[in-house]
Structure 1
């Protein structure tokens, strides 16, 4: 059996709130090598380039082999184990961010089918290798990695479209339209009823399709999006906290501060101060 190896890269922090790579790499595993059971705080895609193994999620088990991709969502309890006789070799990328949810909804994975056999294994492997080869800690490195991640996701989207030509009317399309509405209107005084009305479904149906496709409720997504946008403005350092609050759709500064602290663990004033203390000459780098 070829020697086992592991080459990986992990970001310690990220400047890109919209779409961020958490880690990436390639590995040839030892027989029976396993990860989990455990959860990740990001989306994770593996491509098996040789060998085989087992992927477990949601109390179900899938056999995975060469040419298969397996997919895990944030906070899912998962375990994956290399075969004892033919242990797998795989490449992977982990990512998250405000745009990650809408992108993941367009990939060829569902809770009932978290494994997808690609029609272009060489192209998928090359795309993942490009991400890893661009690794680095400088802003230009992150930009290159995220650019290659978009190309990898685009290739997966094409396979989704080829395999599911009628997905436009599926629940994921309602979610995509709702996310687009949120991203264009989050700075206004919008409610989830407004979001549901914009896509032509009831509030309860919107809740169900969000939980199915995104793993969180519409109000949680809206709040997270607003808070992430607030973080950008706070790092820029040109607005007061009250001005930031209004700019992201919170018209009560004290309520904004409570929500921000619940999301980030510190109030906006301390978040802003921490950015300034860390690098007062260049807050946007934090």
Structure 2
């Protein structure tokens, strides 16, 4: 490297099976004609250019980029990028993957457009990426801070380039968000008003969308979800019927028993696996 070149980077030594994990991050002032590829990555990689010029090639198309531009490398896509000979670029980057990575990237809007973007309103993107670099490390707390920084950066991309929910026409994204809210909160005292508020629409609109897309009302879906969770608890845990009821979000045990019998045809106290577990408990005594 010449005196004008530098590179500061961090690479995670191993990757857990996480919903989202940083693979690498860094900042680099490249030398003239410094290049990478043509090759593929096994993870997502986002570069944001701080100064200088260079060329990013994706799917056979060249993109001539400069400060304020960014480019996305998707897993298994053959890419090549090279710094300018006269004014080589300086960029920061973050590489990441995980079971939630594609879903989150889809919400940024970058997967549905060209793999380049531009942002020059302020230094927010640079600061968010540098925050990830500055918290890099291999301890669990370092990994948590890096993931937190990555989520903040992806949220900024969503705010800037993502498609607002109101622009979706069929409303299915509201149903998905409502179902996710139920999955996370079914054991709490939630109702349809809470679910509708969580996704930002009215109760009546939520009802219409649920009937349109899954042929169940929100209340029926919530009830079935709770009963399914109760069934799992009866089958796998040594809990009383009352404990199962409260764990599944029912504050009234008698009401829980009526709903459970209506949905399954069997009262919870006579649910097959629960009966066997209760008998075994008595035999042990």
TM tier, smaller:
0.5 to 0.7
Runs of 4+ aligned residues of structure 1 deviating over 4 Å after TM superposition are 164-168, 197-201
Query: Secondary structure in 2 aligned to 1:75?
Result: coil
Q: Do structure 1's residue 158 and structure 2's residue 159 form an aligned pair? A: yes
Name stretches of at least 5 consecutive residues in structure 2 with no aligned partner. Answer: 184-209, 215-285
Equivalent residue number for residue 102 of structure 1: 103
Compute the TM-score of the two structures, normalised by the length of structure 1.
0.58
| Alpha-carbon contact 1:48-1:68 (below 8 Å) kept | yes
The 1:141/1:198 distance shift into structure 2, 3 A limit, reads farther
Query: Secondary structure in 2 aligned to 1:142?
Result: helix
Query: Secondary structure in 2 aligned to 1:47?
Result: strand
| Alpha-carbon contact 1:21-1:94 (below 8 Å) kept | yes
Q: Deviations over 1:92-146 (max 9, x none)?
A: 0000001101110011423641111014451111101110010111100000000
Compute the TM-score of the two structures, normalised by the length of structure 2.
0.58
Displacement after TM superposition at 1:166 (Å): 6.6
Q: Do structure 1's residue 169 and structure 2's residue 174 form an aligned pair? A: no
Displacement after TM superposition at 1:90 (Å): 0.2
Q: Supply the distance in 2 between the matched residues of 1:51 and 1:145 (Cα, whole angstroms).
A: 27
Q: Supply the distance in 2 between the matched residues of 1:168 and 1:8 (Cα, whole angstroms).
A: 39
Displacement after TM superposition at 1:165 (Å): 4.3
Q: Supply the distance in 2 between the matched residues of 1:123 and 1:70 (Cα, whole angstroms).
A: 16
| Alpha-carbon contact 1:108-1:116 (below 8 Å) kept | no
For residues 263-274 of structure 1, what are the structure 2 equivalents within 5 Å?
none
Query: Secondary structure in 1 aligned to 2:107?
Result: coil
| Alpha-carbon contact 2:69-2:116 (below 8 Å) kept | yes
The 1:32/1:165 distance shift into structure 2, 3 A limit, reads same
Q: Supply the distance in 1 between the matched residues of 2:129 and 2:29 (Cα, whole angstroms).
A: 15
Q: Over aligned residues, Cα RMSD in angstroms?
A: 3.1
Displacement after TM superposition at 1:12 (Å): 1.3
Q: Supply the distance in 1 between the matched residues of 2:169 and 2:176 (Cα, whole angstroms).
A: 11
Name stretches of at least 5 consecutive residues in structure 1 with no aligned partner. Answer: 185-196, 202-286
For residues 83-102 of structure 1, what are the structure 2 equivalents within 5 Å?
83-102=84-103
Q: Supply the distance in 2 between the matched residues of 1:160 and 1:142 (Cα, whole angstroms).
A: 26
| Alpha-carbon contact 1:36-1:78 (below 8 Å) kept | yes
| Alpha-carbon contact 1:57-1:79 (below 8 Å) kept | yes
The 1:168/1:48 distance shift into structure 2, 3 A limit, reads same
Which structure: larger Rg? 2
Query: Secondary structure in 1 aligned to 2:146?
Result: helix
Query: Secondary structure in 2 aligned to 1:146?
Result: helix
For residues 74-223 of structure 1, what are the structure 2 equivalents within 5 Å?
74-110=75-111, 112-161=113-162, 164-165=163-164, 168-169=167-168, 177=176, 200=213
The 1:5/1:199 distance shift into structure 2, 3 A limit, reads farther
